[in-house]
Structure 1
Amino acid sequence: MKVVAIIQARMGSSRLPGKVLRLLDGITVLELIVERLSECRTLHEIVVATSVSEKDDAVAKEMERLNIAVFRGDEKDVLDRYYRAATLTKADAVLRITGDCPLIDPEVVDAVVESFVKRYPSLQYSSNIHPPTFPDGLDVEVFSYEALEQAWKEATSPFEREHVTPYIHSKPHMFAKANVGSSEDYSRLRWTLDEEEDYLFLSALIDKAREWGINPRLATLEHWIHILEQYPQLTELNSGIVRNAGSAITK
């Protein structure tokens, strides 16, 4: 089974424009995501899906520099972007990652992918967000190409087209699904990048990792948790932002 990671990313975020090309640990957010996903055992290919908008030329240029394939499509119809990228790469299963998750964890990704592969084809969708028990920013969704194609053909609402998977996970009678949970509930933690406060938090957390001799590009969930246990004040930098507050806005 060919599993393709598709990262949706664009420059036009309403809350934090250009966030995917901001620097963390001296590299862009997108490069950090790619580096961390490259550590996964279960992925066969990584693709970035961005829009045809002129402002996203910068995203395409960055991926060209990194030798990562890019698919460019409709700015609002992200579901169409995913379907066409998955079709071009001949994916059997798709890992959905958003461009605001610079600390995406390879071990978590592998756990969700493995939960899917082991039960496919009886299982069509697996995630770690229904319900969430991992920090916001470690969100993982895996689904079959067949489920993606059916959603692409049948989803009609703007919300379903913008957010790719609502059509799939809202229909358990059509698409059997599973959820991978953490041994401890960390869902209160916010490691995503949607606001300026998030950028300040992530920068400070990564700086602490470097001070401790931990490579942020390889750091695990356990590494980050250990740092935050020693420096709990870091979480105050972006506390108070509601999880998924921007869910009605395309990444």
Structure 2
Amino acid sequence: MSTVIIIQARVGSTRLPNKVLTDIANKPMLQRVVERCSRSTNADTVMVATTNNADDDPIVKLCESIGTPVYRGSEEDVLDRYKQAADMIQADVIVRVTSDCPLIDPEILDQAITKFEEVKPDYASNVIERTYPRGLDCEIFSRSVLDRVWNEAKQKHEREHVTPYILENPEKFTVLSIVGDTNESTHRWTVDTPEDLKLVQAIYAELGEDGAFDWKQILDFLEQNPEILQLNAGIEQKSLKD
């Protein structure tokens, strides 16, 4: 059975244009996401799903340069993009990650994949009841569930955001919420704004450009250096409707 991490990526961003290619410790942010996901021992492959837009040609070039499989599809119908990408790479289980998470943690991914394999729900995620820092998000579902959602989801937001159809129809799907031992949900490690980027750059500068640190080391660093948290304090998360 093939478990594939699929990272959705495009250069368009309202609050931080071209953010997926922004430099973090001498590498583009998307490459940081790919490298951290590639450290997962429970996933067989990491691939990127981007759009057919010419603006996203640099994403394809980056993926080719680092040997990462890439699929190009619809910009707005991200659900279809995931469906076609999963079909192309013949994934049995899909782990959905977004390209604005350069601190995504392979240990958390592995734990989530293990729980998904043990419990065998239709869908598992660590964001249903958020306990991990924002930016360590993952969702897991089988290709058969993806096919079903692809066939049944009709609303624009269901197509654009991939999984709302599952969460908005709990009577149709078995759902597993993955939670941590402590609540660290007040931390914001995703990158949507220049302030977010400064925080992540500071973390890489301190903990190492090789990116081999884990999320608990980040927590320790921030606890010892609380002034770093002020770099993106007050930034609000965009809603799905924004």
TM-score by length of 1: 0.93
Q: Which residue matches 1:62?
A: 62
Deviation at 1:246, TM superposition (A): 4.5
CA distance in 1: counterparts of 2:91 and 2:174, whole angstroms: 19
> Residue 60 of structure 2: SS of its match in structure 1?
helix
Aligned to 2:203: 205
Matched residue count:
242
Aligned twin of 2:188: 190
Q: Which residue of 1 aligns with 2:111?
A: 111
- Match of 1:178, SS? strand
- Which residue identity lines up with residue 106 of structure 1 in the other structure? P
3-state SS of the aligned residue for 1:236? helix
> Per-residue CA shift, 1:2-32, capped at 9, x if unaligned?
1111000000111111111111111111111
What is the distance in 2 between the residues matched to 1:15 and 1:148?
Answer: 30
* 1:223 matched to 2:223: no
1:169-202 deviation per Cα after TM superposition (whole angstroms, max 9, x unaligned): 2222211011111111010000000011101111
Matched with 2:240 is 247
Match of 1:129 in 2: 127
Which runs of structure 2 are paired with 1:8-19 in the superposition (5 Å)?
8-19=8-19
AA of the residue aligned to 2:232: N
Q: Is the 8 A contact 1:3 1:44 kept in 2?
A: yes
Scaled by the length of structure 2, the TM-score of the pair is 0.97
Contact 2:204 2:211 in 1 (8 A): no
CA distance in 1, matches of 2:4, 2:173: 19
| Aligned-partner residue type, residue 221 of structure 1 | W
Q: Measure, in 2, the Cα distance between the counterparts of 1:217 and 1:177.
A: 32
How far apart in 2 are the matches of 1:172 and 1:114?
22
Structure 2 gap segments, 5+ residues each? none
Following superposition, the deviation at residue 128 of structure 1 comes to: 0.4
Residue 203 of structure 1 aligns to a residue in which SS? helix
Runs of 4+ in 1 over 2 A off after TM superposition: 246-249
Structure 1 stretches lacking a partner, 5+ long: none
Cα distance in 2 between the residues matched to 1:192 and 1:246 = 14
Partner of 1:81: 81
Q: Within 2, Cα distance between the matches of 1:188 and 1:11?
A: 27
> 2:65 is aligned with what amino acid?
R
Matches within 5 A, 1:26-105: 26-105=26-105
CA contact (8 A) 1:147 1:168 kept: no
Contact 1:111–1:180 (Cα < 8 Å) also in 2: no
One-letter amino acid of the structure 2 residue matched with residue 145 of structure 1: R
Once the two structures are TM-superposed, the CA of residue 109 in structure 1 deviates from its matched residue by: 0.5
Counterpart-to-counterpart distance in 2, 1:168 and 1:87: 20
Displacement of 1:247 in angstroms is 2.8
Which residue, out of 142, 159, 173, partners 2:157?
Answer: 159
* 2:191 counterpart SS class: coil
1:30-85, CA deviations, whole angstroms, 9 ceiling, x for partnerless residues? Answer: 11111111111110111100000000001000000011111001111100000000
d(CA) in 1 for partners of 2:174, 2:7: 24
